[in-house]
Structure 1
Amino acid sequence: MTVQPNGHLKGQVAIVTGAGSGIGRATAIALARAGARVLGVGRRAEALNETAARQPGIEPMPADITAGGVPQAVVEAATDRWGRLDVLVNNAGATAVMSLADTDADRIAGLLALNVTAPSLLAHAALPHLRAGRGTIINISSTYGHRPLPGAAHYAATKAAVEQLTRSWALELAGDGIRVNAVAPGPTESEALTAAGLPDTVVEQIKQDEAARIPLGRRGTPEEVATWIVHLADPAATWITGQVLTIDGGLELAP
């Protein structure tokens, strides 16, 4: 499933973090197909270049958004190049399988830095430009932002934080005409489990177990999630803010 080009985001400028793979890559491509100019941000230059090669209108920017000063530099890169910023998609994030018995302070700090602090600092840096154009922030949560996840509670907690940031910012910024929403994907085909350091056999077993629990019987695709991110980014979506849209094949409803 792909978003067909219709130009409804022509003239818009978007930043997408984590654009080198998965949902971030699919979102950058979908926004560009819809007419937006997209700054695709991520740690891996080669992966970002592959994203940019798939669709005109995407400019890659290799960067670690948890590093000091980088959120401001990312926003400046977009506004210096295109003169405005309309859409911030806070997609970059990490998954960590970590039971309470194995909890480690450094791993908790790393999760918070990437999943909570960096999106907050990006939104802070983007705020003047979003105010100027009555833009939008779209955060990427997870089904597990509002559903327990034994064995990975700290990951789930960071996504719960993202959902509360979304609701709180929506109220805080409504007077500026800035809409803030989130999408909460269920298990989606991506590199997240492998990036978490899990062996291939464990990753495959997790994927099978997840698919078995999802009422629609399968994991999602990045393109399916990107479609809804583009809908939320559309300036025509003028009356939706503070919402967390769960896209998970019905997993939220399952016991």
Structure 2
Amino acid sequence: MTVNSADHHFSGNVAIVTGAGSGIGRATAIAFAQAGAHVLGVGRREAPLRETASAHPEIDVLAIDICDDGAPAAVVRRAVKRWGRLDYLINNAGATAVMPLAETEKQVIVDLFALNVVAPSLLAHEALPHLRETSGTIVNVSSTYGHRPMAGGAHYSATKAAIEQMTRSWALELAGEGVRVNSVAPGPTRTDVMVHAGLTPEAANDMYAYERDRIPTHHIASADEMAHWILRLAEPAGRHATGQVITVDGGLELI
């Protein structure tokens, strides 16, 4: 992602980006670094994180499962120890699951909520004392399916609906303390998330083709496009926006 020189008012700030090993998380980590921030990219897999770090010298990485006990505290501690402050928490890490009701499995539900809801909640809890000091910002990554139905994906949609409601509730709770909370809700975006959800590359391509035909703009977004909006919600010029869910889906939610 390319940012212009005006974006360098992130200089000296510190951002934590989860799910930074690929897709939207990688693009967001790079975008923050290009805009002048120090970035801690967090994910479970060391090798993809190293690829992210190689894109910019201001990206440090931490391979950790944010669902593990103590992991949220370890993540925040690493960033603050390295740079002395924390300005932005980008809760991007998440998983999806194609699981019709007739095929519902308890452990899939538990794992979805652990990663998509519990982990970002605990990360925000650990980050909050530092965000209070810097009048910082939380950006949660939701989905257009957080507020529109998804046949065969009810539990994934439920986790994203929870993220959106947490965004609004935290924003109201923290507004008086100078901490902003917003959310970007991507529509179909070309990443490897579908493959990780169990689809073959061919099936994922078929799904993208299907979604492209339904999207009013007939465009599948790139990860860089989503990183752009995350950066926009985080930047100081947007300090009067809080509690907002910005849907970036080419108009899909309108149909």
One-letter amino acid of the structure 2 residue matched with residue 194 of structure 1? V
Q: Alpha-carbon deviations, 1:196-222, whole Å to 9, x = none?
A: 011222212111101111111121001
| 1:44 CA displacement | 0.9
4+ residue segments displaced more than 6 Å? none
Tell me what 2:54 maps to.
53
Is the Cα contact below 8 Å between 2:2 and 2:34 reproduced in 1? no
Tell me what 1:202 maps to.
203
Local SS of the residue matching 1:47 = helix
Is the Cα contact below 8 Å between 1:2 and 1:227 reproduced in 2? no
Tell me what 2:38 maps to.
37
Tell me what 2:27 maps to.
26
Tell me what 2:102 maps to.
101
Q: Alpha-carbon deviations, 1:61-103, whole Å to 9, x = none?
A: 1010000000000000000000000000000000100000000
CA separation in 2, counterparts of 1:67 and 1:3?
Answer: 35
Residue 234 (structure 2) pairs with residue 230 (structure 1): no
Is the Cα contact below 8 Å between 1:2 and 1:224 reproduced in 2? no
Gaps of 5+ in 2: none
| 1:238 CA displacement | 1.2
Give the structure-1-normalised TM-score.
0.98
The worse-fitting range, judged by mean Cα deviation, of 23-32 and 233-242 is 233-242
Local SS of the residue matching 1:155 = helix
Gaps of 5+ in 1: none
1:85-234 matches, within 5 Å, as: 85-234=86-235
Tell me what 1:246 maps to.
247
CA separation in 2, counterparts of 1:200 and 1:12?
Answer: 38
Local SS of the residue matching 1:187 = coil
Is the Cα contact below 8 Å between 1:131 and 1:176 reproduced in 2? yes
CA separation in 2, counterparts of 1:3 and 1:181?
Answer: 21
Q: CA RMSD in A?
A: 0.9
Local SS of the residue matching 1:19 = coil
One-letter amino acid of the structure 2 residue matched with residue 29 of structure 1? I
Local SS of the residue matching 1:107 = helix
Is the Cα contact below 8 Å between 2:188 and 2:249 reproduced in 1? yes
| 1:172 CA displacement | 0.5
